[in-house]
Structure 1
Amino acid sequence: MSESKIDIDRILSIIFFIAIIIAIVMTVYVIVTPKQGEKFTEFYILGPEGVADDYPTDLTVGEEGEVIIGVVNHEYASITYLLEVKLNETVMGDEKLCLEHNETWEQPFFFEVAEKGEDRKVEFLLYRDQDRNESDETGEPYRSLHLWVDVC
């Protein structure tokens, strides 16, 4: 009986030792491997002062409005974006951007509205290049923002 007890103790010791080695290896792996967070893109518009306030929502015909457009890449890869700005479905401007991970792009954008009217929709559309179909240039935007402008 004592020999079988020694065999069981030896087997349990080996299993315990292997479990400790596995736990150490897993702990080292978790510490060494960088954590990849959520993949997303920040897309925002700011007023002329660089804050989320004082947007040009009341303009006169021919008056210039200004906003700051910002894009921040948190996709953990280099991404090419297409930025389009439309007024009532008419493209007012577009720009292609290539941003590395954690890179920020901010630029002022000036626009003017040539016709009177209430609730003129200025749309800011951001497309990811890999999401666009070459044969269909009107795919769904990756991110979109809008600003309602009254023009008198």
Structure 2
Amino acid sequence: MVAFRSLWLLLPRPVRKLPADLAAIVVLVVVTNVSALAPMIRETPLRVPLGLAFVLFVPGYAFIAALFPEAADSPASTAGSPADSDMMADDSDTDGWYDSLAAQDGIDGLERVALSFGLSIAVVPLIGLVLNFTPWGIRLVPIAVSVSGFTLIATAVAASRRRELPVEDRFQVPYRTWYAAGRAELLEPDTRADAALNVLLVASVILAAGSVWYAVMIPPDGEQFSAIYLLTEDDDGELVADDYPTEFVQGESQELIVGIDNHEQQTTEYTVVVLEQEVEVVANETANSDGDSNATANETIVREQRELDRFSTTIAHNESGLQTYDLEPTMTGENQRIVWLLFPDSDVPSEPSMEDTEYSVHLWVTVSEP
């Protein structure tokens, strides 16, 4: 206890004086960033509920707290004195209604919650729109940093504005009142029927929370697959699936980007084998439904094959890996086929071929002598 007290005193005074709801916002921002960016924790389902709260509620709540630092006026305080009532009686009903609304500066808890959801849904897409026109783009790290920065700045403004108000006018979440009311309702029921209803309520809440926990922590397995593809860089520096190099000179290399997508529901170690093949396309006649041999089908026959290269990489689930590859064919001739074979978490055969894996991509090139 003494050690915890000492650590608490090490924090700056403004941090120690934060209201409970704003301190909870700061803690939630930190925990969400850790669960989304930490190498080991980000692979757990914990980031799903934290991410939803972080995107749909937290920024809006901090913004509302900065806009409305004061507590909502009670109906009694807005009613005014008897003299005020007599004066209002002389005016029209419309003027009295308007003055009553103007006297209410703050908003209550229910309004704060509703506006927090609405503003979060409005603010986060605007942040994404701004990031779309920056070099960072709409990716996990820029989004997390931007939303976290906006939330922390709004929290600091909210804390500063609350400190400027008298204590009795500041907004406070009535935790103790809620606890006392809930304890009295659950542990001190008026009748046996209320006690039975309380037991059913607690059991229902536990069952609902357990169901949500099970759905989040043990999500259903989706389709498992991987993918391999080729990309090139255009004049603007963007990666596109177009304009592949097809003309090579023996001994010279050209650059490609090899992309791998992991949807295996787990972190996977991949091995990529690069083959160059001299192939021949043969047209074979096949019989049609009437028995006539007038249909043709092309068959690709590998005449010679060499292994150019192989490399390994590890990719997390639902992530993509891009690797620059310098392609330098060694066999000369037209219609040479370069094949990239992808093997996820499996032993690579000593002489791999396209029949050994369901994931492959190829490129047709012409290689001339120097």
Partner of 2:222: 37
What RMSD over aligned residues (CA atoms) do the two structures have, in Å?
2.5
Separation in 1, partners of 2:242, 2:311: 24
1:65 maps to 2:284: no
- Matches of residues 99-118 of structure 1 in structure 2 within 5 Å? 99-118=315-334
Separation in 2, partners of 1:114, 1:95: 18
Separation in 1, partners of 2:366, 2:332: 8
Partner of 2:309: 93
Separation in 2, partners of 1:92, 1:120: 13
- Work out which structure has the larger RCO, using CA pairs closer than 8 Å and 6 or more positions apart in sequence: 1
TM-superposed deviation, 1:124: 0.2
Contact conserved, 2:232 with 2:244, CA < 8 A, in 1?
A: yes
TM-superposed deviation, 1:115: 4.3
Percent identity of equivalent pairs: 32
Query: In the alignment, residue 252 of structure 2 is paired with which amino acid?
Result: E
Q: List structure 1 segments (4+ residues) > 4 angstroms apart after TM superposition.
A: 28-33
1:82 maps to 2:271: yes
Show CA shifts across 1:94-120 (max 9, x none).
112222212321111112234431011
Contact conserved, 1:128 with 1:142, CA < 8 A, in 2?
A: no
Contact conserved, 2:276 with 2:331, CA < 8 A, in 1?
A: no
More helix by share: 2
| Pair 1:142–1:115, CA change in 2 (3 A) | closer
Separation in 2, partners of 1:73, 1:82: 13
- SS of 2:222's equivalent in the other structure is coil
Show CA shifts across 1:13-34 (max 9, x none).
xxxxxxxx9xx98xx5796553
More strand by share: 1
Partner of 2:338: 122
**TM-score, normalised relative to structure 2:** 0.31
- SS of 1:146's equivalent in the other structure is strand
**TM-score, normalised relative to structure 1:** 0.69
Contact conserved, 1:45 with 1:67, CA < 8 A, in 2?
A: yes
| Pair 1:47–1:138, CA change in 2 (3 A) | same
Separation in 2, partners of 1:91, 1:38: 31
